[in-house]
Structure formats: C-alpha cells, structure tokens
C-alpha cells in the first residue's frame, strides 16, 4: 500500500474489515475543507473575530465598572474574565503569526495545544455558561453591559473557526497522525458546510510522490491513500505533517 501526494491525505482505520471510501463529490469537499483549514487566510479571519469578541468584553467591563455594577454583583463579565480572554487571544495571535510565516508546525498536536486549542478555553467556558444560564442552572446578571453583543460575537467566532482545527490539526495519537477518518456520519456532516460554487475539481499533482506505508512523508501537505497495485483510493485524504508516518 502506498500514498500519493496531492500533495495531501492519510489512511483511515478499517471498520469490521471494510474500508469506507468517500465518493467523488465527498473527496472534493474534503480536499476543500483541508485546504481551507490549513490556510493562513482562514485562521487569520478567525483571529479577526477573536479580536472583536475581546473588544466587546473590554467595553462590557468598562461600562460595568463605570456604572458600579461590580459592587452589586450585577454583571456576568468581570475584569478577570477580560484578562483571561486577552491572554488566550495573545496565544492565538502568536499561532497565526507563525502560520503566516509558513510555520506549519503550529498544527502539530503539541504545538496546536500551545497556540490554538488552549486559546479556546474561554470561548468554551462562555458557551457552557450561556447554556447553564438558559437552562436555569445559574442566574443571568441581566444588567451585564453588551451581553447580547458579547454572545453574538462569541457565536461569530465559533462559526468562523468551524472545521478549521478538525481538518488541519494533528491527531492526539502519535502512532497515527491522520486526524480525519471517513465514517458513515460524513454523508450527513459534509453537506452542511459551506463550499465555493462551483466546487473545484481535485487538482492534479505536479508530480507524484509515492510513500510506502510506514515510511515518513517528506513534507507537510494533503496526502491521499492509494492501493499501490490498482491506484484506487483506499481511504480518505488527510493533512500530514513533514516526517509523519504514513501509517495504516
């Protein structure tokens, strides 16, 4: 078995002896999502929404402070929350800056934890907070300044990053660096995501780079698993990082 560069893809696990293979349209969709998710443009766009969310948090705490709401515990967003958002924003900015300089190592699992995954802690906290408040588990501080704007910006931030990490960040299992596995959920999941219209055909590689199973890929890119004898697709393409093992 071998994998051929698009440059791009990986080898998913077998399921009960069967290999699930995406159809032609799904291959184009997955390629688009991986290409987008590994691009500086997509992550920098996400960064702009992160900055907007942080700016609204700043406006909220300043307004609450000026209005004396902290003294009466009538605001949900405090200075400590704003500081935590700023700290994680700075981490995210550093990751995007490195990516802009061509440093794809920010997508390696440990690096991604330092720059991208860790920077979502506050966003996750506030998503959970809102759910609990809406369910009545905790109370809303109704006088919180810019509360609606704060959560609208949070939703926009989440929407801007939908799918980016899933298709670019290396998986936690170091023995199998491919993070995208095709399964029966994909026919439901893939059509729900946005794509350009028309969706481009899969590009032809400038040259075929064939890596045998178990060997290490020479550079980061989108790699595709093919049967070495038939040339047929035997899995789903993945973003593999340079020196990663082309494992089954």
For 131-182, how does the pLDDT look when each residue is reduced to its tens digit (9 = 90+)?
999 999 999 999 999 999 999 999 999 988 877 787 888 877 666 666 677 7
pLDDT at 183: 74
C-alpha–C-alpha distance, residues 176 and 182, integer Å = 14
Residue 86 lies in a domain: yes
State the residue range of the domain holding 59: 40-166
What are the beta bridge partners of residue 225? 3
Residue 206 lies in a domain: no
Dihedral angle of Cα 101, 105, 109, 110, to the nearest 10 degrees? -90
Question: Average pLDDT in the 200-218 region?
Answer: 84
- Placement of tokens 């406006």 in the chain: 59
* Tokens of residue 227, six digits: 């049967």
* Tokens of residue 225, six digits: 């698993």
CB 132: neighbour CB atoms within 10 A? 12
Q: Is the peptide bond between 48 and the residue preceding it cis, with omega within 30 degrees of 0?
A: no
Residue 144 lies in a domain: yes
Q: How confident is the model at residue 6 (pLDDT cuts 50, 70, 90)?
A: very low
Candidate from 70-84, 116-130, 143-157, 232-246 with smallest mean pLDDT: 232-246
Residue 114 lies in a domain: yes
**Closest of 6, 4, 14 to residue 30, by C-alpha:** 6
C-alpha–C-alpha distance, residues 27 and 24, integer Å = 5
C-alpha–C-alpha distance, residues 161 and 171, integer Å = 17
C-alpha–C-alpha distance, residues 66 and 248, integer Å = 60
Candidate from 10-19, 38-47, 218-227, 239-248 with smallest mean pLDDT: 10-19
| Better-scored residue on pLDDT, 17 or 169 | 169
Residue 158 lies in a domain: yes
Residue 125 lies in a domain: yes
* CA 197 to chain CA mean position, Å: 22
Candidate from 29-38, 107-116, 136-145, 233-242 with smallest mean pLDDT: 233-242
Q: How many domains does the chain have?
A: 1
CB 221: neighbour CB atoms within 10 A? 22
Residue 4 lies in a domain: no
Question: Average pLDDT in the 39-48 region?
Answer: 95
Residue 16 lies in a domain: no
Question: Average pLDDT in the 80-104 region?
Answer: 96
pLDDT at 51: 98
pLDDT at 152: 98
């Amino acid at each position: 078995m071998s994998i051929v560069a698009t440059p791009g893809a990986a080898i998913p696990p077998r399921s009960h002896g069967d290999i699930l293979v995406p159809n032609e349209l799904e291959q184009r969709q997955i390629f688009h999502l991986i290409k987008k998710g590994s691009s500086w443009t997509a992550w920098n766009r996400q960064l702009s929404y992160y900055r907007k969310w942080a700016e609204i948090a700043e406006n909220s705490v300043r307004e609450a402070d000026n209005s004396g709401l902290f003294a009466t515990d009538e605001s949900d967003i405090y200075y400590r929350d704003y500081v935590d958002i700023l700290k994680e924003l700075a981490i995210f900015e550093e990751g995007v800056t490195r990516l802009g300089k061509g440093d794809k190592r920010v997508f390696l699992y440990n690096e991604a934890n330092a720059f991208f995954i860790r920077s979502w802690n506050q966003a996750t906290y506030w998503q959970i907070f809102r759910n609990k408040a809406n369910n009545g588990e905790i109370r809303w501080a109704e006088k919180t300044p810019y509360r609606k704007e704060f959560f609208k910006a949070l939703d926009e931030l989440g929407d801007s990053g939908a799918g980016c990490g899933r298709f670019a960040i290396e998986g936690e299992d170091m023995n199998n660096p491919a993070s995208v596995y095709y399964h029966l959920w994909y026919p439901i999941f893939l059509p729900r995501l946005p794509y350009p219209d028309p969706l481009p055909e899969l590009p032809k590689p400038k040259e075929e780079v064939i890596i045998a199973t178990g060997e290490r890929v020479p550079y980061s890119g989108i790699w595709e698993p093919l049967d070495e004898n038939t040339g047929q697709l035997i899995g789903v393409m993945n973003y593999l990082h340079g020196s990663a093992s082309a494992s089954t």
